[in-house]
Amino acid sequence: MTIVHISAECYPMAKAGGLGDVVGALPKYQYKSGDQAMVVMPMYKTPFLEKHEWEVHFKGNTNLGAWFFDYTIIKLKNSALGFELYLVDINGLLDRPKIYGYTDDNDRFIGFQIAVINWLCSWAQQPDIVHCHDHQAGLVPFMMKHCYDYQKLQNIKTVLTIHNAQYHGSMGWDKSILIPRWDLWKRGLLEWSGSINPLATAIKCADKVTTVSPTYMQELKVHSNGLETLFENEQSKCVGILNGIDVELWNPATDAMVPYHYNVKDVLDGKRKNKEVICERYHLNMDKPLIVFIGRLVGEKAADVLPGAIQHALDKTNCGANFLVIGAGDTSVESALNYLVQLYPGDYNTYIGYDEKTGHEAYAAADFLLMPSRVEPCGLNQMYALRYGTIPMVRDTGGLHDTVVDMGDENGFGIRFLHATESDIVYSIERAIEVYNDKNRMLKMIHQCMSIDHSWESVVADYKKVYQSIV
Ligand code: GLC
């Protein structure tokens, strides 16, 4: 099968969150399983772009409303990624350092999608599946089916994967002129609550809709930022498939970003050495359990609850645990978190920002990973934590529900709590301290964590079933 993934992010070219990780891994494992998988994404000005060699693959031109533009499809030379990576270069529109956050983001992603479809029209042999990710590729299924210029693509099957249904990419009707000549009778497919809603459009037009965990699929019918009834109506073509993780990239026995390698046999020794590095760098106490938070400091991740919860826990347990918060986001949350550093020197610290290396080091060093997320479609961090023998402490939602079993249950290996509140988090921290002090129990749980397999192989087979059901 030939599968074309269309996405705004793909690691290592450009990543803002889990979307990038997934789009950087799924095609690689699809390719390994014998399918011709490739990714097409915008050409941003990222370090990866500058450090690698590219070849011009195709040159074309088309319209974005009244603007006639040239675009170039460039291809990564000698790709070591395990799949083919194509970038769409549109001068002045996409070639900027950031992925998101510009006032003309709607125009940028519509332009990107139009260029991709325009390029697809030139293919001698059509792909079997066009697989769109999130709202930035959400107009593709509509345009392939209902734009007059793209009629030759009408029969190609499309799949939408929703990584996060909080964001819809909604825009006013004035933007409808940017979409190449389309069948006006199909206006209803573009519309949701009075606006053009690319995520809703994709849910209506794609042949299949997947999201990244079975529990999140259920949650969307009651909580999806206004699309609940749509998910209810379209449920027959929707399915939840839990993400995998790239176990080659995330392997404590070989991870080049981690100072000391270890495996399940020498995990205690390996984690201790890595913890020493982190504790020294952030002035933390080796003897206390190290609880880390890694993620964007935004409401979805319940980062706003962290300062209060951590302060409360440090006071209540008489600093029985140490904390390290890694991430960036809302500036008010960042300052509240930074403020605590002076109050609890030696027991708490922050790293405001994110880079892959610090992330990997922290998974290897930490005893626990805290994820109080209000919304978590899948969550990859808890799966990385499991792989590194770091016990996940998670709110019982979405993919976290599907991947973490509470230690109170038979064969449980994590800590699960119901609410993203200070009191639930503090109680979970107390449970973490208790298990940390019970060395046998702790080791047993670490072993259980490391034995769980979230590799992509079985996930790829699930996607294949989805494709086969429509091709
Ligand atoms: C988004 C979701 C996250 C998911 C990731 C990859 O970032 O918030 O839960 O794991 O996409 O699908």
Instruction: Look up the CATH number of the domain holding residue 293.
Output: 3.40.50.2000
Mean pLDDT of 49-66: 98
Among 15, 134, 211, 212, which is best to mutate for testing ligand 1, by the most ligand atoms less than 8 A from CB? 212
pLDDT one-digit tens code per residue, 258-295: 999 999 999 999 999 999 999 999 999 999 999 999 99
Closest-lying ligand 1 atom to the alpha carbon of residue 300: 8
pLDDT for the residue 107: 98
Ligand 1 site: residues with CB under 6 angstroms? 17-19, 22, 163-164, 212, 243, 376-380, 399
Together in a domain, 275 and 351: yes
**Nearest to 445, CA basis, from 260, 277, 264:** 264
Question: What is the distance in A from the centroid of ligand 1 to the CA of 218?
Answer: 16
What is the residue range of 433's domain? 267-451
pLDDT one-digit tens code per residue, 333-360: 999 999 999 999 999 999 999 889 999 9
Q: Is residue 252 part of a domain?
A: no
pLDDT for the residue 202: 98
pLDDT for the residue 146: 98
**Nearest to 293, CA basis, from 259, 331, 260, 324:** 324
Together in a domain, 425 and 305: yes
Report percent pLDDT > 90 for the chain: 99
Length of the chain: 471
For the record, the structure tokens of 436 come out as 């940390």
Q: Is residue 251 part of a domain?
A: no
Together in a domain, 85 and 145: yes
Together in a domain, 106 and 205: yes
pLDDT for the residue 106: 98
Q: Is residue 399 part of a domain?
A: yes
Question: What is the distance in A from the centroid of ligand 1 to the CA of 379?
Answer: 5
Q: What is the number of structural domains in the chain?
A: 2
Mean pLDDT of 84-106: 98
pLDDT for the residue 399: 98
Question: What is the distance in A from the centroid of ligand 1 to the CA of 372?
Answer: 14
Banded pLDDT at 446 (limits 50, 70, 90):
very high
Together in a domain, 319 and 215: no
Among 19, 131, 294, 375, which is best to mutate for testing ligand 1, by the most ligand atoms less than 8 A from CB? 19
Token match 């270069």: residue?
Answer: 89
pLDDT for the residue 306: 98
**Nearest to 154, CA basis, from 196, 176, 183, 134:** 183
pLDDT for the residue 282: 98
Together in a domain, 153 and 298: no
pLDDT for the residue 212: 98
Together in a domain, 220 and 273: no
Q: Is residue 211 part of a domain?
A: yes
pLDDT one-digit tens code per residue, 184-198: 999 999 999 999 999
